[in-house]
């Protein structure tokens, strides 16, 4: 059986447990843990930044808009300096983040709201009903991005569920004796966690599978009368 990898919360929890066994110096253990945690946060911020540059955009190049965007990046990357430079064509900005050990460069589009390009890149959601093998008659009504295949959506949903139980909300639910089931997960997981992976929850409660019974007219007529013999 293929084992699942640890998420960030599980990794940091394991590191916090192992470090005191590896060194008798609590200050050294604490320093190592903090440096690793900072690197994990940095990698996650870099991943989110790259995803935003690939899929997101700024609405305009007004000084206030650019300044707010630069301030948000500076808040995420406190250990570095951030430079945002609008392109001469006015259709993008160049972003450079100088960190102590690396420099990251990317480009973000500028797409005014309501423009044709903005409408084109807006993802459309399609139905994504989910059932469990042990109870196929219960259907959770979800949605996935149109460009997100069912298999990919399944993998993403499984990963989100695994990560949710490692979050503070998931850990608190378990301390409150909430059972680790799909039903509890899908009712408690934040909508943003699903949206970040191209998924959406329409309803928290599942629906029962229903069969539509249709009455089919008899062949050779429109009603119930039998043909008159000649």
- What is the pLDDT at residue 76? 85
- What is the pLDDT at residue 15? 87
- What is the pLDDT at residue 118? 54
- What is the pLDDT at residue 220? 54
- What is the pLDDT at residue 225? 47
What dihedral angle (degrees, nearest 10) is formed by the CA atoms of 176, 177, 182, 183?
A: -80
Distance CA 89, CA 7 (A): 41
pTM of this structure:
0.48
Rounded average pLDDT per 10-residue block, the chain, 230 residues: 63 87 88 88 88 88 91 86 89 91 90 69 82 88 88 91 90 90 91 86 85 68 47
Under 8 Å between Cβ of 7 and 40: no
Distance CA 168, CA 107 (A): 34
- What is the pLDDT at residue 116? 61
Radius of gyration of the chain (CA): 26
């Amino acid at each position: 059986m293929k084992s699942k990898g640890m998420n960030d919360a599980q990794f940091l929890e394991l590191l916090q447990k192992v470090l005191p066994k590896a060194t008798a110096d609590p200050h050294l253990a604490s320093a190592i843990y903090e440096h690793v945690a900072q690197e994990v946060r940095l990698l996650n911020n870099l991943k989110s930044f790259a995803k935003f540059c690939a899929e997101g955009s700024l609405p305009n190049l007004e000084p206030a808009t650019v300044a707010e965007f630069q301030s948000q990046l500076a808040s995420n990357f406190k250990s570095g300096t951030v430079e945002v430079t609008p392109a001469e064509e006015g259709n993008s900005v160049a972003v450079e983040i100088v960190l102590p050990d690396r420099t990251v460069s990317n480009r973000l589009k500028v797409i005014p709201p309501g423009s044709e390009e903005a409408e084109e890149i807006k993802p459309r959601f399609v139905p994504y009903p989910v059932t469990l093998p042990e109870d196929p008659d219960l259907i959770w009504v979800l949605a996935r991005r149109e460009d997100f295949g069912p298999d990919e959506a399944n993998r993403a949903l499984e990963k989100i569920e695994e990560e949710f139980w490692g979050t503070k909300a998931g850990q608190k639910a378990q301390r409150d004796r909430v059972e680790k089931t799909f039903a509890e997960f899908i009712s408690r997981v934040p909508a943003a966690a699903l949206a970040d992976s191209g998924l959406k929850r329409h309803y928290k409660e599942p629906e029962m599978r229903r069969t539509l019974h249709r009455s089919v007219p008899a062949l050779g007529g429109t009603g119930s009368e039998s043909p008159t013999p000649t």
